[in-house]
Amino acid sequence: MRIITWNINSVRLRMPLLRKLAEETMPDVICLQETKVVDELFPHGEIEDLFPYRQINGIKAYNGVAILSKRPFQSGGAQNWCDRADGRHVFVRFAGGLEIHNFYVPAGGDVPDPAENPKFAHKLEFLDEMTEWWTGHARPDAKRVLVGDLNIAPGKHDVWSHKQLLDVVSHTPVEVERLDRLQKTHDWVDAARLFVPEDEKLYSWWSYRARDWRASNRGRRLDHIWVTPALQAKLEKFEILAEARDWQRASDHVPVIVDIAV
């Protein structure tokens, strides 16, 4: 099964790119974040030939997540976090038990101080709530995939400059510690670092503000694919489709791809 996670930054605006991605990489499942569309206006008609099975959770203008699938799934749903119905989580369960959870963790604003910045407080609270929930739901043999824009680049080499980003939201020690705690709940395996050595730079996002994203290469790895230990040995391939950052009207995030033998 080929699974892609992609922060598409408006699904309606980037329909042509979604089609291009689907045709060029032939995924079974695409998990989207920042669809930025309320469910009633989701472009089902333009997607159903590629992905007949869909589970969506959108709101107007902001956030919004979706799981698009070529294969039918048994059940699906969404959860609210931090008492907000703000389109940050959606999941599906396939026959045989494989589950895919797609998250859009709050970005957290600019100031890395929860006392001063409510958006950063929300981000930390969101991560704590995820940690608590997964702690209660972890099962040793579960076949689960957690993907999404987690808005944290945890490793020294998940950012272009560890030193210069220590005070920048997405790479602060307090966030990285929260993400570590979340990862430990289910012994989640980071697919990226299973395939790419820890000391090799790896990014999935490059700011729109750079004149030339490739030349400056000030990226961060914000988009993640984690699997439970039961699936680790079944991971066959990992790829970050960096070329997508050069597509016409690109998202600032690029697709991240895994193949799992299920």
Note the residues at the interface with DNA (CB under 7 A).
Answer: 9-10, 12-13, 36-38, 41, 60-62, 106-109, 119, 151, 207-209, 249
Q: Which tokens belong to 33?
A: 């974040």
| C-alpha distances out from residue 88 to 102, 123, 239, 252, Å | 8, 12, 24, 18
In whole angstroms, how close is the CB of 37 to DNA at the nearest point?
6
Q: Among residues 61 and 85, whose Cβ is nearest to DNA?
A: 61
In whole angstroms, how close is the CB of 201 to DNA at the nearest point?
19
Q: Which tokens belong to 261?
A: 């033998």
In whole angstroms, how close is the CB of 22 to DNA at the nearest point?
19
In whole angstroms, how close is the CB of 136 to DNA at the nearest point?
26
In 10 A of CB 41, how many CB atoms? 12
Strands 219-220 and 205-206: antiparallel
Q: Among residues 76 and 108, whose Cβ is nearest to DNA?
A: 108
Rounded-to-integer distance, Cα 148 and Cα 157, Å: 19
Q: Among residues 207 and 217, whose Cβ is nearest to DNA?
A: 207
Of the candidates 213, 211, 193, the one whose C-alpha atom is nearest the C-alpha of residue 202 is: 193
In whole angstroms, how close is the CB of 117 to DNA at the nearest point?
10
In whole angstroms, how close is the CB of 234 to DNA at the nearest point?
31
Q: Among residues 10 and 232, whose Cβ is nearest to DNA?
A: 10
In 10 A of CB 88, how many CB atoms? 27
Q: Among residues 71 and 218, whose Cβ is nearest to DNA?
A: 218
Q: Among residues 99 and 158, whose Cβ is nearest to DNA?
A: 158
| C-alpha distances out from residue 48 to 39, 44, 55, 153, 155, Å | 15, 6, 12, 33, 38
In whole angstroms, how close is the CB of 211 to DNA at the nearest point?
7
Angle (CA) 50-54-55 rounded to 5° is 155
All residues at 6 or more sequence positions from 126 whose CB lies less than 8 Å from its CB, including other chains = 81, 82, 88, 105, 106
Q: Among residues 111 and 196, whose Cβ is nearest to DNA?
A: 111
Helices and strands, number each (H, E), in the chain: 7, 14
